[in-house]
Chains A and B, each alone.
Chain A
Amino acid sequence: MLEKEQVYKELLRCNKCGGCQVICPTYKATYYEGNVARGRLFLVRKYLENGEQALLKTPEIVQVLEQCLLCESCTKVCPSGVRTAEVVLHYRQQLLEIKGSKNKWKERLYRLAFLNKAFIPLAAKLAYYYQKYGMIPDPYQLRSFLSQYLDGQVLRDNPGTGITLPATGQRKYKVTFFVGCASNTFYHGAALVAINLLRRWADVTLLDNYCCGAPLLSLGAVDGFREVANRNLELISREQTDFIVTDCSTCASVLKQYPARLGVAAPALTKLRDLVEILIQEREHLSQVKGRGRQKFTFHYPCHLARGQNLKEPTQKLLDDLFGSSYQPHLEDDSCCGGAGTFGILHRDLAQKITAAKLANIQNSGAAQVVTSCPACLMQLGAVVKRLALPLVVKPLAVFLEEAMGESR
């Protein structure tokens, strides 16, 4: 988290060249200056000149802060390297601290949900509902929905039992699987496939972890974030294991940020791998993949994979290598899908516009399937594919690979 002085430095480095318009997904959905890094930074700067309190209560400022995807695309093209997402995070934090902030209820809900393992499914339920019906449930519907909820038990019952699922092939090492909230409850099927993939060469245990903290972080709920992060760090440090792997690129990216955000050293985190990373490392175990001559597919590089972890190029290489010309990159394949955690739910119209633009690029590539490594992206892409009734299949990476290895579960 940036300190005030660092935030000022970021703000001063923006000299309004406008270059970020070329990439900012919220700008390209609206062509409105309030939806691009330059506008966001300018308004914040302007408000600093006029005094903080007044402007943080101004709906327009709140809006420009809330409508940022935190996708960091702008930083990549910004010649001055301005970290707009960090500036936005800083002010979201300030917003929360203001008395009577309408985000307070969200913070409470998030704390309840993400600091308490039993409530984790709640968040997933919201997401599930969103995907199925394309809308946010109202509180009354949610109640009945809660009681109906039965999904996702498999993984949720397993963590923390200390049970190790033994390797099915020759054992090379031990892996601890970090169970992301969305993976756990909504994409638990895919998570199980990922686990079984890892078991081809490793023993796997499930970590009884908390939420990685991404939703708290993006809300600006820094205290809550620190709390979950510390709890997770403690759990991870206690693990006797060779690698910690997660099949969620957002979790992986956020976990990797712990040392910087908490200001602590965390040697245990050097064992952390995104599923994609460990697959690259264990390329030889994918030799069964029948990649060539398949139906064309494309890969969506999630923000947290491409920019959060700088893993776009290695991933692309792996796919090229395994699949040759069956793998078709699409235009702007590392631009945010519009899901951005809860963004897809909270700013539904804007998000769906962004997703629709993304899907048009995907379709233009001629691919019939789009594969990705983050549940939030899967959810967002899936929901909009469904709403627009597009002839596209959205697939988790592990599931896609398993199919390519010619096995049916």
Chain B
Amino acid sequence: MHSNVELFLRALRQHFRVDQIVVNNEALYLYSYDSSPYSGQPAAVFFPESTRDVAVFFTLAAKFKVETLPRGAGTNLSGGTVPQRGQAVLCLTRMRRILAVDWEREYAVVEPGVTNLELQKAVEAGGYMFAPDPASMNVATIGGNVAENAGGMRCVKYGVTRDHVLGLELVTPEGKVLRLGKLAQLDGGYAINSWVNDANLVDLIVGSEGTLGVVTQIMVKLVRKPVACKTLLCSFNDLRQAGEAVSEIIKAGIVPTAMEIIDQKLTHAIDDFVGLGLPRDTRALLLIELDGWEEEDLNAQMDRVMLILRSIGVTRVDVATDSKEREQIWLARRSVNGALGRIKPYYVVQDITVPRHKVAAMIKKVEEIGQKHGVTIGLLAHAGDGNLHPHLLYSDREREMPQVEAAAEEIFKAAVELGGTLSGEHGIGMEKRPYLKLVFKPAELEFLKAIKEAFDPSWLLNLEKAI
């Protein structure tokens, strides 16, 4: 494979400027990691600036049989962008144009390197939002959001990335450019709401973790931003009570924009960062965001939520309505992963998802497993959609890793037993691959492989990830 890489790089240099290609060994360390604990050295890093660049890159890679791996901002938590097979990395951060915003038909078309925040800012002025808002939204790219089918706080109410992607442009590992979904309809001059009978390839690509091709354009749905919002900071004496409150609220047919549970350790860490004066003595914090089109509607929701909270034994509720205060609270919430460095230097974060009414039961399990293995676990949950993020914290890689891994495996199993799954939004990547057997039958895995082969017959793109 090595000499192939040399030939491949030589060919690349004939097509592209030197500043688009990184080959120096030390500089390559910079692309050996992402936000997960894994690492692996790439053979080269290439910065495309257009769809054509990507297609040329893939055509050459296919010709020289060189393995490749796409990368956005490198913030995924599952090792998705770690080139553990020494692949050539295709880094999309310099493809960051917003190509179109259509207010009337409520869509935008962007390049994959545009960050979630940049898209939000571009549409905010018109009173719109791109609904998925992962905690990493300030820097994560739309390409990365699509590949991981990212979720966020608002997803309880608005759905995940898949629900907001209308069309895609995909370059396959053989260098073919496909226009999918509504983007193709747009090209053909059809009305984008017309019904065209084609296979829904867009949904297949969203969440495929960069194993089927590289997304070079994304057509996203724009959603009107609600006008009235309230954020409730609810304190409980017990994490499980917070979990119950979530189940009860949903059972009552109320759909908050967000419901997030944060445990005491994490509350302290983020309050050290934002200095909001969050209630530090509380064992469990439940953040609820309600939105609506009018004040009355909002107040009615609020009254019903308060009734439920009281019946469960909430110890304190702080309500934030002014937008600056709310922003600070959500900033605090989004900072959890980053602020963990304040507790211990390393962590593994899990992404298990269980049926919503099982959240309280799952929390109990996680606590027990942590105690059993002597592992410090910080718990954060997008409780509204049953998605839990236990953060397994450690300081000494060699000494503590066995316990951490044992606890992690047990948590995976417990989630599956409760009728849940391994990943809600962070992806399978390298991290969860060994556990795929827990959720897929052999026949299903074979089928996934067949799909992969249809897109990537030579098996060159992003191997040993996700499937």
> Is A43 among interface residues, defined by CB-CB distance under 8 A?
yes
With contacts A18-B74, A22-B139 taken as known, whether A43 is within 8 angstroms of B339 at the C-beta atoms is no
Q: Are A31 and B113 in contact (CB under 8 A)?
A: yes
A-side interface residues toward B, CB under 8 Å? 12-19, 21-22, 31-34, 39, 42-43, 46, 55, 58-61, 77-82
Interface-lining segment among B30-38, B179-187, B411-419: B30-38
A57 CB, nearest partner CB in chain B, Å = 11
Q: How far is the CA of A107 from the CA of B2 in the complex (A)?
A: 43
> Is B127 among interface residues, defined by CB-CB distance under 8 A?
no
Q: Which residues of A contact B345 (CB under 8 A)?
A: 12-13, 15
Give the bracket for the number of chain B residues in contact with chain A: 35 or more
B-side interface residues toward A, CB under 8 Å? 24, 26-27, 29-31, 33-35, 47, 73-75, 93-94, 96, 113, 115, 117, 136, 138-140, 269-270, 272-273, 335-342, 345-347
Residue of B with least CB distance to A42: B33
Residue among B30, B31, B94 with most chain A CB within 10 A: B30
Residue pairs across A and B with Cβ atoms less than 8 A apart, 26 shown, are: A13-B345, A15-B337, A17-B136, A17-B338, A18-B74, A18-B75, A18-B136, A19-B136, A19-B335, A22-B115, A22-B117, A31-B47, A31-B113, A33-B31, A34-B27, A43-B26, A59-B26, A60-B26, A77-B138, A78-B338, A79-B269, A79-B336, A79-B341, A80-B338, A80-B341, A81-B272
Residue of B with least CB distance to A60: B26
Main secondary structure of the interface of A (DSSP, over half): helix
A86 CB, nearest partner CB in chain B, Å = 15
Q: Are B339 and A79 in contact (CB under 8 A)?
A: yes
Q: Are B30 and A17 in contact (CB under 8 A)?
A: no
Q: Are B341 and A12 in contact (CB under 8 A)?
A: yes
Residue of A with least CB distance to B34: A16
Q: Are B30 and A43 in contact (CB under 8 A)?
A: yes
Main secondary structure of the interface of B (DSSP, over half): mixed
Residue of B with least CB distance to A17: B338
Q: How far is the CA of A22 from the CA of B121 in the complex (A)?
A: 13
Residue of B with least CB distance to A8: B345
Q: Which residues of A contact B33 (CB under 8 A)?
A: 16, 42
With contacts A18-B136, A42-B33 taken as known, whether A33 is within 8 angstroms of B94 at the C-beta atoms is no
A75 CB, nearest partner CB in chain B, Å = 11
B303 CB, nearest partner CB in chain A, Å = 35
Q: Which residues of B contact A58 (CB under 8 A)?
A: 26
B73, B115, B339: which contacts A80 (Cβ < 8 A)?
B339
Q: Which residues of B contact A21 (CB under 8 A)?
A: 73, 138-139
Nearest 9 pairs between A and B by C-beta?
A79-B338, A80-B341, A79-B335, A13-B341, A60-B26, A79-B339, A17-B338, A31-B93, A12-B345
B30, B96, B138, B273: which contacts A42 (Cβ < 8 A)?
B30
List 11 extra interface pairs beyond A31-B94, A78-B338, A79-B335, CB under 8 A.
A15-B341, A15-B347, A18-B35, A18-B74, A18-B140, A19-B338, A31-B113, A33-B31, A42-B29, A60-B26, A79-B270
Q: Are B96 and A39 in contact (CB under 8 A)?
A: no
A16, A22, A55, A80: which contacts B138 (Cβ < 8 A)?
A22
Q: Are A79 and B30 in contact (CB under 8 A)?
A: no
With contacts A15-B347, A79-B339 taken as known, whether A33 is within 8 angstroms of B96 at the C-beta atoms is no
B31, B47, B138, B340: which contacts A19 (Cβ < 8 A)?
B138
Residue of B with least CB distance to A39: B30
Q: How far is the CA of A339 from the CA of B30 in the complex (A)?
A: 26
With contacts A22-B117, A78-B338 taken as known, whether A46 is within 8 angstroms of B136 at the C-beta atoms is no
Residue of B with least CB distance to A78: B338
Q: Which residues of B contact A13 (CB under 8 A)?
A: 341-342, 345
Q: Which residues of B contact A31 (CB under 8 A)?
A: 47, 93-94, 96, 113
Q: How far is the CA of A104 from the CA of B338 in the complex (A)?
A: 37
Q: Which residues of B contact A12 (CB under 8 A)?
A: 341, 345
B74 CB, nearest partner CB in chain A, Å = 6
With contacts A31-B94, A79-B335 taken as known, whether A61 is within 8 angstroms of B35 at the C-beta atoms is no
Q: How far is the CA of A39 from the CA of B33 in the complex (A)?
A: 10
Residue of A with least CB distance to B71: A33
Q: Are A15 and B27 in contact (CB under 8 A)?
A: no
B148 CB, nearest partner CB in chain A, Å = 14
Residue of A with least CB distance to B94: A31
Q: Are A80 and B340 in contact (CB under 8 A)?
A: yes
A16, A59, A82: which contacts B35 (Cβ < 8 A)?
A16
